[in-house]
């Protein structure tokens, strides 16, 4: 299984060259990706060829296995013989839905029947809204009262005024019916409707949120916690990379950030994962990194407990992380968009498109990556841009990219501080963004609004 990690702090990584063409290259993506993990074919093909050592990969394939111009599916099957795995890698439905070479959207719609969600998952604009219904006409107006002096009748409700009565006791006229008005055009489907965050209920006994280490749902968890006060505080999850730990994830946060969060009565959560998929599928959609549905359930439980017992603000749930933890940051922000307000992955993002838990609730994001030099099995500049593209298309209030060009997980402390300021400035569904007119002072010139 291929793992992504923090250079220098992690166990040795097996080079892609050690994975010959064949099943041993590790095409391990769950066949249960009905809603979570649909690759865009071009992105998946590039990953496939990178793992095979093919330096000339392109969306149509150029390996000598199946010949120039072969589809992603044909090339993958030629190399591995694994049709089920290749359907997942190439964006085809896991149940066999779709055909070899089908587009991401077509395969997703075939599998799920949800064109709107598939458009977002595949980075396409959602279809425009339909026009409003035609308005109904006004009721006929009642005529004016019988007149002895020939005065005009009063206007009917929804209609024009009645004609005047005759001088010798004539009957008032009947008002005309009001005209029918057309309905307004429907809005396009690219802007989420928003709303308050949806906080999950705790799943069992809640931990005490005190600074130190605890075992929570099977994971050693580092907690940094302030005393709850009269004002609601923030909550920040930080996820570590392969072979690292929660303590090392905390060490990447500037002391000033931890101090501010605790002074506000907030909590920082830094779990140490146990190195294996514990339940469900691999939510990062990569070849074997362990973050999975059990980790999302873990986050749900702690969020519910913190809001219930520690006066945490439901609108201030944030997430960050490095490498594999940066991919988990991207996955959690999409798969828990019902409550994640903002995310700032450090060498992370998304390797493939994911379907939002709630497409009407989309977080603000700020990516930090090392550009072309940010390579550990994959290029994390590319995974960051995949993430940015999906979130922008889904209507995120703000999307910022920071290419610090300092390698893998090399974001400097000052940029981590900027990331915290960004998250703090973007509570849940903040629209318009306070950064709409431009980044505030203190942000480096290599950061830009997307």
Domains of the chain with bracketed CATH: 31-121 (no CATH), 212-449 (3.40.50.1820)
Specify the higher pLDDT residue, 286 or 102.
286
Spatial distance between the Cα atoms of 446 and 450, rounded to a whole number of angstroms: 12
State the SS3 of 155-166.
Answer: ECCCCCECCCCC
| Confidence category of residue 120, pLDDT binned at 50, 70, 90 | low
pLDDT digits (tens, 9 = 90+) for 203-262: 999 999 999 999 999 999 999 999 999 999 999 999 999 889 999 999 999 999 999 999
Indicate if the pLDDT at residue 190 is higher than 90.
no
pLDDT band at 143 (very low <50, low <70, confident <90, very high): very low
Average pLDDT on 157-173 reads 32
The pLDDT-based confidence of 276 (bands split at 50, 70, 90) is confident
Over range 30-41, report the average pLDDT: 30
Give the least confident one: 68-72, 169-173, 353-357, 435-439.
Answer: 169-173
* Degrees to nearest 5, angle at CA 123 with 381 and 337: 85
pLDDT of 85 reads 55
Q: In terms of C-beta distances under 8 Å and separation of at least 24 residues, what long-range contacts does 434-442 make, across chains too?
A: 435/398, 435/400, 436/398, 439/400, 442/418
Q: What is the mean pLDDT of residues 405-427?
A: 97
Task: Give CA–CA dist 89/75, Å, rounded.
Answer: 11
3-state class (DSSP) for residue 90: coil
99-108 core/surface letters (b: 16 or more CB in 10 A; e: else): ebbbbbbbbb
Q: Give the per-residue pLDDT at 356.
A: 96
Residue 49 has phi, psi (to 5 degrees) of -70, -35
Of the candidates 358, 364, 368, 384, the one whose C-alpha atom is nearest the C-alpha of residue 433 is: 364
What pLDDT score does 102 carry? Answer: 60
| Average pLDDT estimate for 429-434 | 95
Which tops the pLDDT comparison, 383 or 153?
383
Quick one: tokens of 57?
A: 């990969």
Q: Tell me the pLDDT tens digit for each residue of 316-356.
A: 999 999 999 999 999 999 999 999 999 999 999 998 889 99
Higher confidence at residue 167 or residue 422? 422
Continuous segment of H or E residues that includes residue 312: strand 312-322
CB atoms within 10 A of CB 11: 11
Confidence (pLDDT) at 87 = 56
The pLDDT value recorded for residue 43 is 35
- Check residues 411 and 88 and name the one with the higher pLDDT: 411
Q: Which residue has the higher pLDDT, 240 or 127?
A: 240
Total count of residues recorded for the chain:
450
Query: How confident is the model at residue 363, as a pLDDT?
Result: 97
- Output 339 or 20, whichever has higher pLDDT: 339
What pLDDT score does 349 carry?
97
pLDDT band at 275 (very low <50, low <70, confident <90, very high): confident
> What does the angle CA 105 – CA 108 – CA 111 come to, to the nearest 5 degrees?
150
Average pLDDT over residues 58-64: 37
Higher pLDDT, 264 or 177: 264
Tell me the CA distances in angstroms from 206 to 5, 24, 301, 314, one per residue in order.
31, 42, 8, 17
| Arithmetic mean of pLDDT, 66-88 | 58
Per-residue CA distances from 363 to 284, 330, 391 (Å): 17, 10, 8
Q: Is the pLDDT of residue 371 over 90?
A: yes
Most confident of the following: 167-171, 174-178, 179-183, 303-307: 303-307
* Range name among 101-110, 146-155, 218-227 with the lowest pLDDT average: 146-155
Better-predicted residue by pLDDT, 399 or 100: 399
Overall average pLDDT of the 404-423 stretch: 97
Please say if the pLDDT value at position 194 is more than 80.
no
What's the rounded mean pLDDT across residues 8-28?
29
Mean pLDDT comparison of 34-38, 87-91, 232-236, highest-scoring range: 232-236
Does residue 347 or residue 86 have the better pLDDT? 347
Question: Could you give the CA distance from residue 419 to residue 369 in angstroms, rounded to a whole number?
Answer: 12
DSSP state string for 374-413: -EESEEHHHHHHHHHHHHHHTT-S-EEEEE--S-TT---H
Taking the mean position of all CA atoms in its chain, how far away is CA 430?
A: 15
Burial class of residue 160 in the structure, from the number of CB atoms within 10 Å of its CB (0-12 exposed, 13-18 middle, 19+ buried): middle
**Average pLDDT over the chain, rounded to whole?**
72
pLDDT level of residue 83 (50, 70, 90 thresholds) = low
Q: CA 433 to CA 449: how far, in whole Å?
A: 11
Instruction: Identify the pLDDT of residue 162.
Output: 33
């Amino acid at each position: 299984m291929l793992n992504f990690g923090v250079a220098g702090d992690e166990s040795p990584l097996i080079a892609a060259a050690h994975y010959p063409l064949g099943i041993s290259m590790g095409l391990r993506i769950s066949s249960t990706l009905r809603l979570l993990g649909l690759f865009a074919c071009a992105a998946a093909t590039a990953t496939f060829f990178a793992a095979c050592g093919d330096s000339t990969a392109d969306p149509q394939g150029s390996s000598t296995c199946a010949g120039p111009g072969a589809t992603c599916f044909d090339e993958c099957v030629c190399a591995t013989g694994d049709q089920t795995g290749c359907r997942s890698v190439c964006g085809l439905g896991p149940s066999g839905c779709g055909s070899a070479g089908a587009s991401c959207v077509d395969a997703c719609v075939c599998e799920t029947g949800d064109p709107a969600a598939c458009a977002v998952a595949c980075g396409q604009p959602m279809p425009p809204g339909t026009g409003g219904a035609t308005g109904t006409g006004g009721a006929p107006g009642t005529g004016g009262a019988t007149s002895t002096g020939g005065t005009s009748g009063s206007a009917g409700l929804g209609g024009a005024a009645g004609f005047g009565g005759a001088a010798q006791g004539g009957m008032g006229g009947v008002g005309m019916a009001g005209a029918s008005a057309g309905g307004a055009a429907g809005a396009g489907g690219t802007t989420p409707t928003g709303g308050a965050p949806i906080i999950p209920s705790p799943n069992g006994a809640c931990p005490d949120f005190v600074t130190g280490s605890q075992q929570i749902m099977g994971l050693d968890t580092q907690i940094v916690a302030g005393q709850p006060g009269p004002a609601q505080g923030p909550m920040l999850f930080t996820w570590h990379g392969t072979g690292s730990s929660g303590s090392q994830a905390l060490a990447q946060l500037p002391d000033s950030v931890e101090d501010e969060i605790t002074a506000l009565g907030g909590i920082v959560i830094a779990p140490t994962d146990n190195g294996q998929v514990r339940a469900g599928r691999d939510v990062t959609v990569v070849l074997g990194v362990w973050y999975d549905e059990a980790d999302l359930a873990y986050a749900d439980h702690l969020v519910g407990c913190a809001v219930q017992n520690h006066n945490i603000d439901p609108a201030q749930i944030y997430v960050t992380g490095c490498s594999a933890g940066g991919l988990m940051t991207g996955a959690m922000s999409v798969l828990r968009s019902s409550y994640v307000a903002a995310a700032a992955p450090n060498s992370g993002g998304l390797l493939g498109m994911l379907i939002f838990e709630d497409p009407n609730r989309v977080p603000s994001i700020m990516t930090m990556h090392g550009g072309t030099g940010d390579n550990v099995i994959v290029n994390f500049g590319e995974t960051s841009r995949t993430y940015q593209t999906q979130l922008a298309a889904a209507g995120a209030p703000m999307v910022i990219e920071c290419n610090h060009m300092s390698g893998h997980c090399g974001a400097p402390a000052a940029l981590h501080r900027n990331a915290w300021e960004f998250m703090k400035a973007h509570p849940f569904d903040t629209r318009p963004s306070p950064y709409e007119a431009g980044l505030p002072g203190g942000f480096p010139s290599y950061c830009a609004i997307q």
